[in-house]
Amino acid sequence: MTNFTPADVESLERATIEAVAPPEVLEIGPWLVPLDAGTVGRAKSAAPLSHDIDAGQVGEVEAAYRQRGLPPAFRVAEAPGLKAVTADIARRGFASEQPTLVMVAPARSVAEIAVPFADLLDRPDEAWGQVFLGEGFDPEDGAHRVRRLTESPDALYGAVREAGRTVAVGVVSFGHGWAGVHGMRTALDRRGSGFASRLLALFGAAAQARQVSRVFLQVEEGNPAQNLYRRAGFEEAWRYRYWR
């Protein structure tokens, strides 16, 4: 799964930004430049469509944000072919932070991680969104995530219910040959109950139903959820950092 071609990189990056539905996306040379004033990093950070480019358009990308009154931000893979890019971004005064893994898996193995005992919704209900606003989550960030994820152009929404209460949620988006898993959240008092496994299985099965064979997700380095993802067959494709 991790022997990526340049076409794989481009398709996954396009699917990533499409899933978080920023209000506007520019293409500047080899860069996708999503424009958003919210809190979701992927919806407001420019990403290269290739892991082998020069730094030629970095200044133009930075200017595009500043012209709109938005703070410039970049999301760049740690790849040998992007060293000139990161060097130029650093020279401009941006600092790297939040190392994050892009992970990929066969839909089949994701579907087999657990029994997919959860609801799959065409549109999320109010209880789905409330999980993002519950105890332990930043309400402003949660509201932005709900907005961005519910505006994804092609997505399904998973919800685990318990005694009439929605206790875990997530999203599976579809585009550019990929299924993407986003917005995995479990209520603070119900963590460790296996709900995330059920949602992953639900999303893997949904991908199979659409004959989409590859699933991706992104998880911050050090997040213990990586252990679950690896059990579901996810492998690291690349690592990136935000530059802000």
Task: Give the torsion sign (CA, 183, 8, 111, 193).
Answer: negative
Radius of gyration of the chain (CA): 18
Q: How many whole angstroms from its chain centre is CA 66? A: 24
161 Cβ contact list (under 8 Å, min separation 6): 118, 119, 167
- pLDDT tens per residue across all 244 residues of the chain: 457 899 999 999 999 999 999 999 999 999 999 999 999 999 999 999 999 999 999 999 999 999 999 999 999 999 999 999 999 999 999 999 999 999 999 999 999 999 989 999 999 999 999 999 988 888 899 999 999 999 999 999 999 999 999 999 999 999 999 999 999 999 999 998 999 999 999 999 999 999 999 999 999 998 999 999 999 999 999 999 999 9
Q: For residues 166 and 55, give the distance between their C-alpha atoms in angstroms, rounded to a whole number.
A: 46
Domains, the chain: 6-100 (no CATH), 105-239 (3.40.630.30)
Q: For residues 195 and 45, give the distance between their C-alpha atoms in angstroms, rounded to a whole number.
A: 30
DSSP for 127-157, written as a single string:
HHHHGGGSTTS-HHHHHHHHHHHHT-SSEEE
CA neighbor of 88 nearest in space, from 65, 60, 55, 51: 55
